[in-house]
Amino acid sequence: MPESIDPPEDGETEPVRLPESDLESIEASVRRLLDQSAEQARQLDSLASAPPPTDSPFGAFGMPGFAGLPPQPAPPEPRPILELEGEEYEDELDALSDWVDDFLVRVYGAEITTAAPWCEQWQEHTDVVAWLHALWLAYQQHKDPEAGLSGLFVWHRDFLTHAMATVRAAGGPLSACMTDPDRPAHRLLPGPPPSSRTTAETAASEENGAPGQGAG
C-alpha cells in the first residue's frame, strides 16, 4: 500500500508524485473512457437517424414492412400469355422465345420428322404459344427451391412430356409445317367454323339491322 503523507504543520501540502507505471495505467483508463464515449455518441447518432420503430414484435427479425423497414413490392402474378395485349404481349413473347430457343429446343428438341414436326415460326401458332408459355411458367415454378429436390422431376414427368407430345404430335398444330429439317415450312391450319347456333344468331342480328355478335 502507498505510504500515507501527513500534511506539514504549516497547512501546505506537497505535490504527490506517482510512479510512471501508475501514470501509464491512468492514461490507458482515460483513453478507454474516451473511446467508449465516442462509440456511444456514434450509436446515439445512428439511432437518431433511424426511422421510428413500431410496436410490432416482428421488427427485431428485419421483416419488410415492420420496424420502419420499407415493404418490398410483390412480384406481379403470372398471367396466361393470351390474356395479354399490345406491348405487354410482345415483351412476354420475346422472353418466351428466348427460353424456347436457348433452352427448350436445344435440350429437348428431338429430330424433326413427320412424327415430330416443328416450325421456325411457332410464334404464329396461337395454340403453340399458349402451350409453351404454360410449360415455361411451370418450369419457373418447379425449379424454385421451394419446390424441393423433386421439383424438376415433377416438371419433366407432368409437364414437359405431355406438352411436347401435344405440340409436336403428327396430327397436331405443327403437322403442316416442318417435317424435314432441310425443308423449312410454315402453314396455319384452318380451325373449326363457328357453331350453328352462333351462325344463326349472327344472321338474325343482321336481318334486324343490328351488328353481328358472333365470332367469324
Q: What is the pLDDT of residues 73-89, one digit of tens each?
A: 666 677 899 999 999 99
Q: Tell me the C-alpha distance between 183 and 193, whole Å.
A: 30
Q: Tell me the C-alpha distance between 82 and 96, whole Å.
A: 13
Report field, pTM of the whole predicted structure over 0.75:
no
Look at the chain and count its residues. 216
Rg over CA atoms, the chain:
39
Quick count: other Cβ atoms within 10 Å of Cβ 142? 20
pLDDT one-digit tens code per residue, 70-127: 666 666 677 899 999 999 999 999 999 999 999 999 999 989 999 999 999 999 999 9
